[in-house]
Structure formats: structure tokens, C-alpha cells
Structure 1
Amino acid sequence: MPSQNDAPRIASAAREIAATAERVFELIADPAQHPRWDGNDNLAAAAPGQRVRAVGAVFTMTLTTGAVRENHVVEFAEGRLVAWRPAEPGKEPPGHLWRWEVQVLDPARTHVVHTYDWTRLTDENRMRRARATTADRLRASLDRLADIAERP
């Protein structure tokens, strides 16, 4: 029987959203919007004005525990892709990554993939939380994002 250490370290979920790719991407690229649709119930707040526009950007987020995270953007393509590695303020990221991929299906439909990758996570204190971040939780974020994006 495989041990917990052998479990997959990448969780992913995807769905179609009945909204323009531009609208969906704006919700993802603006950290102030994240607590509205976070399916992990982990995000409390982010200051406005931190819209992600490039690799190398850093945005801050306050977690529901009150802790603050600096999120280092490591992948970015306007309208299509954004990924970041969270870290405690002033520290190096411990190795996990959040990624959002947006693909236009047609002018009113968008395919979105949300991935949590902890293959490079080395901090033992974060392993339990990482294991709990399943495809179902990612799907919950996608469903909440769709509810907001699909509103007129």
C-alpha cells in the first residue's frame, strides 16, 4: 500500500464558465477578488490595486488565520495564465504553486483550469494543509468563480 508520501502532489480541476475570458481573467488577476471565490476558505482579504501584470510581481494576501502571505508571480500571460508561489513576508517561497489557466472557447464561454502543485514543497509544517488541498477544493473555487463571473 502506498504511503502518504507517495500520494500525488498536484491537484487540478477544470470547468467551463459562461462568461468572457476577459471577465474571468480579471477576477483571477485581481487579488482583491480572491476571497470572494476561494473554495479553500483560506483567504480573508487583499488590498485593492494589486492587479497582476507580469512575472516578478508580488501581491500580499491576509489569510483567515490572520497570517500574511507574499505571493510571488512566476508565470504570467495576459488573459491566459497566472501562477504564484506564496511565502511568509520576507522569506523565500517554500515550494508550492497556485496556477490558473484561461482558454477562450467562444466569445461567451471560457475553459478554466485551476492547479495546486506542491511537488517542490519541503516545509513539513505545510504538508498536512497541502494534502488537504484536493481537486474538490479547487473545483469549489472554480464553481464560486463561475457564480460571480456569470452574473450580469
Structure 2
Amino acid sequence: MTTDTGSSKVVVAHRDIAAGAERIFELIADPSNQPRWDGNDNLAQAPAGQRVRGTGEVFTMTLTVGATRENRVVEFEEGRRIAWLPSEPGQEPPGHLWRWELEPVGDALTRVTHTYDWSRLTDEKRLVRARATTADKLQASLDRLAGLVES
């Protein structure tokens, strides 16, 4: 299920995935896995050994266009929630946030919510890309993530 209010600056998608929350969270909290399920086709690679374990941590990612991003973790609850603010290396985040929330529904079923919030985005150069990040793209990430853990 996707939620996108058109002009909203907060885009949300949900999916129930037939796997335990811990297994799903491992794929999300380890940046080196993220390019495998990125529905935006924006992530090229991330160095191994950056598994996130708490707020305040920073992990790096290389985009498909070759640029590097630092991602500052601003929300974290092991197995349940992680959110980060991307930025260019050494710069303050321009104000968009990626969030993942996992809610166990049973032993082998987890409701996963993926949110892209650009309500505080201040960098005019990023607005076109932010508007292009629709609920369908978030849903594609959820679908790819499900494909990895449900097989």
C-alpha cells in the first residue's frame, strides 16, 4: 500500500513482508546492502563495515552518478526504526530525511513503513529530485526488500 498526497512533502509506503523484523532490519541497517533493494536506482555502493548501531553515527554511500553522500543517523531503535539525513561530505544536511519503521505482526510477518520527508529541504537544486521521489519509488524499495527476505 502506498500513500502519496500529491503535493505533500512527506511520502509514505507500507508493505507487510513475510519475514521477521530482525532479518529485514539487518538489510536496512547495513548500508552495503542498500543498493540491492533501492527502488530509486540511486545507490551504487557503500563500503562494508558500516552497520548502524545508534543515533549520531554517519555512514557513506556512493550514488549512481558517482557522488558521495554522508548519512547522519537521527533516529534509531534496533530492529524497529532507523532514519537518516543525507548530505554532501562535510556539509550540513539540506533537510530531507529517509525513515524505515518495522512493526512485527507475527513471528514471520512484519509491517514495514518507508518514509521520505522533504518538508525541511532548503536546497533549491534538490527540489526536482525530491518531487520525483514518489510513493511508487518507495514501494519499489519495499518490494525489492521483500524479494530478498521472502525467497
1:46 aligns with 2:46: yes
Q: TM-score, normalised by structure 2?
A: 0.95
2:65 maps to a residue whose letter is T
In structure 1, the residue matched to 2:120 is 120
2:138 maps to a residue whose letter is L
1:59 aligns with 2:39: no
Which runs of 5 or more structure 1 residues have no equivalent in the other structure? 1-5
In structure 1, the residue matched to 2:3 is none
How far residue 7 of structure 1 moved from its aligned partner, in angstroms, is 1.8
How far residue 26 of structure 1 moved from its aligned partner, in angstroms, is 0.5
Of all paired residues, the percent bearing the same amino acid is: 67
1:128 maps to a residue whose letter is V
How many residue pairs were aligned?
146
2:85 maps to a residue whose letter is R
**C-alpha distance after superposition, 1:11-48 (max 9, x if no partner):** 00000000111100101100000000000000000011
Query: Aligned-residue CA RMSD in angstroms?
Result: 0.8
In structure 2, the residue matched to 1:22 is 22
Secondary structure of the corresponding residue to residue 24 of structure 1: helix
How far residue 149 of structure 1 moved from its aligned partner, in angstroms, is 1.0
In structure 2, the residue matched to 1:3 is none
Secondary structure of the corresponding residue to residue 50 of structure 1: coil
In structure 2, the residue matched to 1:140 is 140
**C-alpha distance after superposition, 1:67-112 (max 9, x if no partner):** 0000000000001000000000000000000000001111110100
Structure 2 CA distance for aligned equivalents of residues 117 and 75 of structure 1: 13
How far residue 138 of structure 1 moved from its aligned partner, in angstroms, is 0.1
Structure 2 CA distance for aligned equivalents of residues 91 and 21 of structure 1: 33
